[in-house]
Structure 1
Amino acid sequence: MKRSLIWFRNDLRIHDNEALIKACQAKEVVPLYCIDPRHFAKTSFGFPKTGYHRTKFLLESLQNLRSNLKEIGIDLIIREGKPEEIIPEIIEKYDIDLAFTHKEITREEIDVENSLKDTLGDTLTFAWSSTLFHINDIPFSKEDVPDVFTQFRKRTEKESKVRKEYEEPTRASLVPGIEAGKIPTVEDLGLEDKPDDPRAVLNFKGGEDEALKRLQNYFWEGDHLKNYKFTRNGLLGPDYSSKLSPWLANGCISPRRIYWEVKQYEEKRKKNVSTYWMIFELLWRDYFRFSAWKYGDKIFWPSGIQGKKRKWKTDRDIFNKWAEGNTGIPFIDANMRELNNTGYMSNRGRQNVASFLAQNLNIDWRMGAEYFESLLIDYDPCSNYGNWAYNTTVGHDPRNRYFNIISQAEKYDKKGEYVKNWVPALRKVSKDFIHEPHKMNQDQQTLFSVDIGNGYPEPMINLDESYEEIKARD
């Protein structure tokens, strides 16, 4: 193999990168990333497919990948256009012997892979890197992936092992004469640059270096892993959870790196339910991906994998109140405003806002999933749509489940500090009313410097009545 190409996608790292290490066995390499215009088009409900926060994180990740590739003697080649058009041209022009990439699992990515495979045939080789457990190592065929997570987890833990990481390449040579290309700015991609929000739980920055720095800080320097299970539902501050999901979604860090780091931590510091829970969450991530492998496009259907028929609404005015954080229900509004301003939201918040949109408002859950796709810096189609379907009762939990929003708010934001951080109009409200400010009389509103209905909206629905409607559904 004289010349090879590695097509980077959601694997923007040097460590534990099977496609990269195989490509680097050639004498000369083309490391390629394609800025696909389809990723910056509109979703089916008209949202920007890749919004500002996701785009910024991606571009930072590409800059860091380029820097790290230069350390081993090569460069990241950037091209704007469709991979199925660009890659065959490069292969022909530069006489490439083999092309490597990591396999994806959902429809849009598979369509591009199939188009390339039709053109390139055996020149294109796939590796697998997106999950903790390799697809060839789980104790299930595609059709036999269980519909219950616990069944998947128990058998996989018992019968499968996590593979060791691939070594990092130390030296490679770039195919001569190929132009590197410019990594675009957010403005180049038609988006308006925004300042960072100082209220964000963490100043997320894309790239492998930042991912490994975060791992080091959370596990070792801050020593937070030992408490992870008991703090992971916190809402304010950087260290109640690992916050590794944005780097995982972009492939800036390997799930196996996290796993083996947990094992080191257990040897050197402490092994307890929290260290296990970090691996448990990685297993959930695996489960959603393998479920997408099993069910294919059904994970995007309104009826989900359950095939549940329900009359969904698509009222834009109602949806926009939810999306903009103007529902009049502070816990929902705070979470949506955090998402809009930072591209991030806690898992606890995601479950509540999803339940509220789909269950309380009866709005088509796919609108919410697409809105998240646009904004979340840790967007991954399998986890995003899997979690939305789960919280909407068309996914892996068929029960008519829903969240009591006020109870959740009082449990996880007891003093209202999170709400006050993101809803300034309620900053002076007593904790007795912070989650239901509409219950204050006029004197109390004056005392706490808020005018419900003007400075902050009345609740858009009666929550208690909506819960009764949910219970009455089949």
Structure 2
Amino acid sequence: MHLLWLKRDLRISDHAALYHAAKQGQPVLPIYIVEPDYWQQPDTSLRHWAFISEALAQLQLQFTKLGQPLLVFYGAASRVFTEIIQRFPISAVYSHEETGNLWSYQRDIAAARFWQQRGIPWHQFKQFAVFRPLANRDNWFKQADTWLAATLYPAPNQLPFICPSNWQAPLPWPERRRDLPLCTTPQQARHCAVTLQSFLGERAQSYRGGISFAAKAATSCSRLSPYLSYGMLSMRALQQQSWQQRTTTHSARQKQGLDAFYSRLRWHCHFMQKLEDEPEIEVRNMHRGFDGLREPDFSAAYFHAWATGNTGYPLIDAAMRSLLHTGWLHFRGRAMLVAFACYHLWLHWRPVALHLAGCFVDYEPGIHYPQIQMQAGTTGINPNRMYNPIKQSLQKDADGVFIRQWLPELGQIPTSWLHQPWLLSKQQQQQYGCVLGRDYPEPVVAAEHAIRLARQRLKTWLATHRHCWSDEKKRIMVRHASRNRPAERRKTVSKQQLSLFGD
């Protein structure tokens, strides 16, 4: 029989591994492994498991209807594999290729060795338009478009029964040494189909004009990112379905929104390819010339203020508190949080990335780390994005709706003062029921001074490290930079539309 190893691909439709495992009529044993060591990694959190466990419950219903329930195990993959091959005559293993964190990358290397030593072939298939191996990016867009446009794999009609799902012991929640609190209003795995239908059928009309505005983004963005991250949705099916919807809708605004969404979908796999090609960028600078730039100046106090939403900058703090409660944030909010941490507070991106990874229910390592490094300015090929927190607040939440929602202590302050409450006199602060330093923090840094200092630090660093710059930049350009994008697509992608990093 064939073993189907599910990881971040929790669906049965357009599932290449399932299709190939089942197509020759042999019995298929589908399994999912909850690996304790994975859940001890610093980029994981029980927020992720809360979503995954609900997704597994949905998937269990689907497999049960096919005839063979999904078996969910708790333990190291090698131990689970050993137990399975002792009980079942496994002739081949099927799974999707995973572009995960470094731990999963090393786990897969060990798994390949396990199956090779036992003479059992392991067949892996593409989950995204991510190619393994890839020498350079010269023809990546063409390859990606070809794969994304290919015919979808049908789900099998049935699977022969092998073993009941209650064969294993009851599944515990993973243990964590310490963790973020669970979300108070999380996105639900069971709402996948409803979320997809509402976006393609209606909400896409506000996508183009609403995704960067804090108060509008929660409904204007697709909100499909967690379903893509854990494979409840097929990227290929989603792209084809969104294009089909675009060609049939009669609404001009809906067409514009779906055009913008379709363009961003194509950048999703572009970023995942970066981590696939260079897994080490999870833990080190993409451009090694930045090694040592921020490490000596890390401030634990600044990091704590940022991570808890207590920097004294209302839009920054509202974005963080919203993320802590919901597990989701729109792209501009994510980019702004990283930029503020890495430029204004001069924090190294690695602890910033780990905190955000645990916060994001839709954490996708292949997008997360390349995006974090791009926003932190350590890629060597992207411009520095130093967002002004006051300007962003005035532009993206002019009426203060988002700020008041997540910072109720500022609720009585007039809108004209809301974005810069430190300008209020002590008498006014008392009048509006928000005394800085008591009810809401003073700014941890002066924004203008902090950004001038960041620019000076970068200028000095580049001047003293210029000797090692060009060769490293050339290497990164060959390995990671986008090129040969089809001309008809170029005009639909703005500089801000670079991924599904929260959209």
Measured in 2, the distance between the counterparts of 1:195 and 1:18 equals 33
Measured in 2, the distance between the counterparts of 1:452 and 1:67 equals 53
State the TM-score, normalizing by the size of structure 2: 0.83
Of 283, 308, 321, which residue of structure 2 is paired with 1:300?
A: 283
2:160 aligned with 1:173, yes or no? yes
Alignment-derived partner of residue 135 in structure 1: 131
Instruction: Spell out, residue by residue over 1:373-420, the C-alpha distance to the aligned partner (whole angstroms, 9 max, x if none).
Output: 212111011111111100011126443331111111111111111111
Q: Secondary structure at the match of 2:436?
A: coil
Measured in 1, the distance between the counterparts of 2:287 and 2:104 equals 20
Measured in 1, the distance between the counterparts of 2:323 and 2:169 equals 29
Q: Secondary structure at the match of 1:410?
A: helix
Task: Tell whether the 8 Å contact from 1:212 to 1:253 is kept in structure 2 after alignment.
Answer: no
2:187 aligned with 1:204, yes or no? yes
State the TM-score, normalizing by the size of structure 1: 0.88
Measured in 2, the distance between the counterparts of 1:103 and 1:300 equals 21
Task: Tell whether the 8 Å contact from 1:354 to 1:392 is kept in structure 2 after alignment.
Answer: yes
Ranked by relative contact order (alpha carbons within 8 Å, sequence separation 6 or more), the top structure is 2
User: Between Structure 1 and Structure 2, how many residues are aligned?
Assistant: 448
Measured in 2, the distance between the counterparts of 1:385 and 1:352 equals 15
2:224 aligned with 1:232, yes or no? no
Instruction: Spell out, residue by residue over 1:194-221, the C-alpha distance to the aligned partner (whole angstroms, 9 max, x if none).
Output: 7863xx5xx51125xx22221111111x
Instruction: Spell out, residue by residue over 1:273-324, the C-alpha distance to the aligned partner (whole angstroms, 9 max, x if none).
Output: 43222122122210111112222313430x2245423132333222111101
Alignment-derived partner of residue 144 in structure 1: 136
CA separation of 1:62 and 1:247: change in aligned 2, threshold 3 A: same
CA separation of 1:182 and 1:455: change in aligned 2, threshold 3 A: farther
Task: Tell whether the 8 Å contact from 1:134 to 1:163 is kept in structure 2 after alignment.
Answer: no
Measured in 1, the distance between the counterparts of 2:115 and 2:410 equals 59
Measured in 2, the distance between the counterparts of 1:193 and 1:396 equals 33
Alignment-derived partner of residue 32 in structure 1: 31
Unpaired runs of 5+ residues, structure 2, are 460-503
What is the one-letter code of the residue matched to 1:263? Answer: W
Aligned pairs for 1:10-29 within 5 A: 10-25=8-23, 26-29=25-28
Task: Tell whether the 8 Å contact from 2:5 to 2:31 is kept in structure 1 after alignment.
Answer: yes
CA separation of 1:78 and 1:189: change in aligned 2, threshold 3 A: farther
Unpaired runs of 5+ residues, structure 1, are 44-48
Alignment-derived partner of residue 252 in structure 1: 232
2:61 aligned with 1:61, yes or no? no
What is the one-letter code of the residue matched to 1:419? Answer: I
CA separation of 1:159 and 1:79: change in aligned 2, threshold 3 A: closer
Q: Secondary structure at the match of 2:416?
A: coil
Alignment-derived partner of residue 122 in structure 2: 125
Measured in 2, the distance between the counterparts of 1:9 and 1:159 equals 25
Pick the structure with more helix per residue. 2
CA separation of 1:215 and 1:180: change in aligned 2, threshold 3 A: farther
Task: Tell whether the 8 Å contact from 1:145 to 1:290 is kept in structure 2 after alignment.
Answer: no
Alignment-derived partner of residue 46 in structure 1: none
Deviation for aligned residue 1:364 = 1.1
Aligned pairs for 1:312-461 within 5 A: 312=295, 313-395=297-379, 397-461=381-445
Aligned pairs for 1:249-288 within 5 A: 249-270=229-250, 272-288=255-271
Q: Secondary structure at the match of 2:418?
A: coil
Deviation for aligned residue 1:231 = 1.6
Aligned pairs for 1:41-120 within 5 A: 41-43=40-42, 49-106=43-100, 107-120=102-115
CA separation of 1:241 and 1:470: change in aligned 2, threshold 3 A: same
Percent of aligned pairs sharing the same letter: 21
Deviation for aligned residue 1:30 = 1.4
Deviation for aligned residue 1:111 = 1.6
Alignment-derived partner of residue 149 in structure 2: 162
Aligned-pair Cα RMSD in Å: 2.5
Deviation for aligned residue 1:24 = 2.5
